[in-house]
């Protein structure tokens, strides 16, 4: 619904600009007032919907293999990710964790019918119970071997999986993975996209990474 309302808003603004131009050319004050009034009413309605959906949203924690969709600049919402596995270890190659390494396997796939698509500039962080954020340990990831980048383009019949690493405190509680995708223009659009995870005041969807299979070490 959010994408549809956004497209209706864009189309409505374009139509309003044309009608305002006509009203000035024809000097029809009633048409100008009608268009301005209609635009104001629509934007008030849109703002109420945007804030309302965000305030009533709830934080979600997705289980293993439960997908999350991403809506980008083109409002297509075809790209999805899911966490398919989590391992923990103290060592990866020659690197030793300050706390414990969480190796999170992420699957990327698309439900587009024909287009070849990909993610853009994925930002991955782990959020704990106290809302502290932890960035990826790229040096540790390098010891896992060659992996596909998040922005690798895939067709509807393809998918990719890659492992990302976080060095988390040994006593971390309720760690959840937060994945965000897109360029600056994507985030700007999503701020005002009704019921989108990245819209203003909206609660986020996290991946549960507590379900794990411990391993002795990764070479």
For residue 4, the model assigns a pLDDT of 82
Tell whether 66 is covered by a domain.
yes
pLDDT bin (cut points 50, 70, 90) of residue 216 is very low
Asked if residue 143 has pLDDT above 80, the reply is: yes
Structure confidence at residue 215 (pLDDT): 52
127 located within any domain: yes
Give pLDDT, residue 218. 52
Determine the Cα–Cα distance for residues 22 and 32; give it in Å rounded to an integer. 9
- Tell me: do 197 and 174 sit in the same domain: yes
Say if residue 153 is in the same domain as residue 186.
yes
Backbone torsion region of residue 44, taken as left when φ is above 0, otherwise alpha when ψ lies between -120 and 50, otherwise beta? alpha
* Lowest mean pLDDT, pick from 47-61, 72-86, 107-121, 154-168: 72-86
Tell me what the mean pLDDT of segment 86-90 comes to: 93
Residue 184 lies in a domain: yes
Interior/surface letters 88-114, b for 16+ CB within 10 angstroms, e for the rest: bbbbbeebebeebbbbbebbbbbeeee
7-15 contacts, C-beta under 8 A, 24 or more apart = 7/75, 9/42, 9/43, 9/46, 12/39, 12/42, 13/39
Q: What is the pLDDT of residue 75?
A: 55
The pLDDT score that the predictor gives to residue 72 is 58
Beta-sheet pairing, 79-92 with 95-110 = antiparallel
Which range of residues forms the domain containing residue 22? 2-55
pLDDT band for position 48 (50/70/90)? very high
219 found inside a domain:
no
Q: Is residue 200 a contact partner of residue 50, using CB atoms and an 8 Å limit?
A: yes
CA distance 124 to 181: 9
Q: Is there a domain that residue 91 lies in?
A: yes
Please check whether residues 48 and 74 belong to one and the same domain: no
* Same domain assignment for residues 159 and 64: yes
13 and 79 fall within a common domain: no
Please check whether residues 29 and 74 belong to one and the same domain: no
Task: State pTM to two decimals.
Answer: 0.80
- Asked whether residue 191 falls in the same domain as residue 96, the answer is yes
* Counted domains in the chain: 2
Q: 89 and 197: one domain?
A: yes
Q: Using one digit for the tens of pLDDT, what is the confidence trace for 149-208?
A: 988 898 888 899 999 999 999 899 999 999 998 776 777 788 888 888 888 999 999 999
Lowest pLDDT segment from 25-29, 52-56, 75-79? 75-79
Q: Are 207 and 198 in contact (CB under 8 A)?
A: no
pLDDT at 219 exceeding the cut of 60: no
């Amino acid at each position: 619904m959010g994408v549809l309302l956004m497209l209706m808003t864009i189309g409505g603004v374009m139509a309003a600009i044309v009608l305002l131009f006509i009203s000035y050319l024809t000097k029809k004050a009633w048409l100008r007032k009608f268009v301005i009034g209609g635009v104001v009413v629509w934007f008030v309605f849109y703002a109420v919907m945007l804030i309302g959906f965000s305030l009533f949203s709830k934080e979600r924690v997705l289980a293993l293999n439960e997908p999350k969709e991403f809506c980008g600049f083109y409002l297509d919402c075809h790209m999805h990710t899911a966490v398919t596995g989590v391992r923990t270890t103290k060592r990866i190659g020659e690197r030793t964790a300050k706390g414990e390494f969480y190796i999170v396997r992420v699957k990327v796939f698309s439900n587009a019918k024909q287009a070849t698509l990909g993610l853009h500039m994925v930002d991955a962080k782990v959020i704990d119970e106290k809302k502290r954020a932890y960035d990826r340990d790229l040096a540790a990831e390098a010891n896992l071997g060659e992996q596909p980048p998040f922005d690798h383009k895939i067709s509807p019949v393809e998918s990719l999986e890659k492992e990302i690493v976080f060095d988390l405190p040994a006593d971390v509680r309720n760690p959840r993975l937060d994945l965000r995708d897109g360029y600056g223009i994507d985030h700007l659009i999503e701020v005002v996209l009704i019921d989108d995870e990245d819209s203003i005041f909206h609660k986020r969807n996290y991946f549960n990474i507590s379900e794990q299979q411990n391993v002795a070490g990764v070479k």
